[in-house]
Chains A and B, each alone.
Chain A
Amino acid sequence: MGLKLITDQIPREKVPGASIIYIPSGKYLKYASFGYSTLLADLVYIWSIQYFSNTSVPERFQYLTHVYSIISELDPQYLDPYQVGALIAIYDAREFDTAMEILSQGLKKNPEQWIFPWQAGHYAQMILKDYELAKKYYKKAMEIPGAPPITKRLYSNAIYELGDYETAWKNWLEIYKNTDDERVKKIASNHLYRTKAAMDIQKIKHALKKYKDKFGQFPEKLDSLVSQGFLDGIPQDLDGQDYVYDRETGEITTAVIPWKR
């Protein structure tokens, strides 16, 4: 025992993360598992968590896709690794394409799992701010039975962010009418307020631009847009209140913040 304690204290040079070279292809590893492929998948997954958390390993994300594809080959129905792999790819490796690749693999092997396209949409929206991509993934998630109701709300929000206010309005109205949950009704109502406001403000600004092009300045009041024939009528917000008009800048805003109605 004394010899062991002494030996342990002798410093030895180690190459951080060298164990990665012993990881073969998942397909061949499945043959070598002799019926214990799910246990092997668990062990590789637990190892990968320790490996990718080790900040002293340079370029440790180089094999991220390879390691998680091994786990996928060994146990395709093991859902946690796909999600954690994508999480590591997004937040640590900052590789969005790798995250999408891992999540796509998860969806391919588990087409009944809505969580993968949902997570992809979430990353596209929150990290990339790519609402077109987010919309595509949320739509895919919505088509899978069991997807939570919030998926449709996120999808509708992505449509709003893309500027398609007509479709966003239709979706939010459908959500508002089809729910009995008061909280969801309130959320939908706020989004409907915001969408109508966006449509109205767009219309008014278009008229203001035409007015300024003709008269060289913004009108004193919005009523001038009607009297001059640029608008049929001055729209009001969903609560029947007038929009706030800044004559100096030509900006139009809502009287209240939608979330504080």
Chain B
Amino acid sequence: MKIRAVAFNTFKEAIRDRVLYLLLFFAAASLIFSRILALLTVGDKTKIIMDAGLASISLFGVLMAILMGTGLVYKEIDKKTVYTLLSKPINRLQFLLGKFFGLMTTLFIMLGVMSLIFIIILLLHSGQITWKFFVSIAFIYLELGLITSVALLFSCFSTPILSSIFSLSFYLIGHLSWGIETLIKKMKPGVTKFLTQVVYTLLPDLENFNFKTEVVHNLPIPPKIFLFSFFYGIIYTFFILVLSMLVFRRRDFI
């Protein structure tokens, strides 16, 4: 109940944020531009539209998660409204989870709007859409959940600018960590290889949520990938939220 109340208020606050609509506008423009970009190619135009469209939804979704998420807790602390909130019978965990779910609800709606625009563009162009498209969107949402939890973590102890930089770095590292896997395969067995493997295991691998290639080329997706990627996302998000809780619990607001 309390988590729901905080979530609802967070949602109401987030949905009124002008930054969100600015990003939504650029996302819509980007999606429409994909249709124009397709005119410049020789060959499969649908591929260009799919690539540009999915990339826009993913990129603008991440920007929304980072820009909104990094201010979630910080704003409450900065405006001192956190004192009022925590003086009520609500514990810090409920407060954090409420913030998290409130932003996730906002992102769900934004993702829904972007996806709807994209579906309309696709249907007007080719008249067909596969189930893999919806799977890709679902995993983009899962990735946004993880990014939001990271933004929330940094928001608990850092300023919005630094939190944005850290969250963006997390996102970039998450999409580069597959390169470490390639490096490990080429390394000789030893301490260095072991340490690199430890680092690789700890670092996030956001490529697990990236099914854009499979959607665009209509490639088969092994069912195991869905299950393991889903649980990886959920567990990693949970882990980051627990970290946020530990940080926030020890936070002194003076």
Contacts and interface: CB of A to CB of B under 8 A. Distances in A.
Question: A and B: real partners?
Answer: yes
Interface of A: 31, 34-39, 41-42, 45-46, 49-50, 75, 77-81, 83-84
Nearest to A110: B217
Contacts, number: 58
B207 interface: yes
Contact of A42 (B52, B172, B207): B52
A62 B133 CA distance: 39
A37 B214 CA distance: 12
B41 interface: yes
Q: Provide the main secondary structure of the chain B interface.
A: helix
Contacts of A80: 41-44, 47
Contacts of B210: 35
B41 A49 contact: yes
A196 B43 CA distance: 42
Contact of A36 (B40, B42, B55, B219): B55
A50 B42 CA distance: 11
B176 A42 contact: no
Contacts of B52: 39, 42
8 contacts: A31-B179, A34-B176, A35-B212, A36-B212, A37-B213, A80-B43, A80-B47, A81-B43
B195 to A, nearest CB: 21
Interface of B: 37, 40-44, 47-48, 51-52, 55, 58-59, 171-172, 175-176, 179, 206-207, 210, 212-213, 216-217, 219
Contacts of B55: 36, 39
A58 B171 CA distance: 41
B175 A34 contact: yes
A189 B125 CA distance: 44
Q: Which of A39, A50, A77, A80 has the most chain B CB atoms closer than 10 A to its own CB?
A: A39
Q: Which of B51, B52, B55, B175 has the most chain A CB atoms closer than 10 A to its own CB?
A: B51
A37 B175 CA distance: 11
B176 A31 contact: yes
A49 B40 contact: yes
Contacts of B43: 79-81, 83-84
A39 B56 CA distance: 10
Contact of B213 (A46, A77, A84): A77
Given A38-B51, A80-B42, A80-B43, A46 B37 contact: yes
A46 B175 contact: no
A34 B172 contact: yes
B47 A42 contact: yes
A35 B206 contact: yes
A42 B48 contact: yes
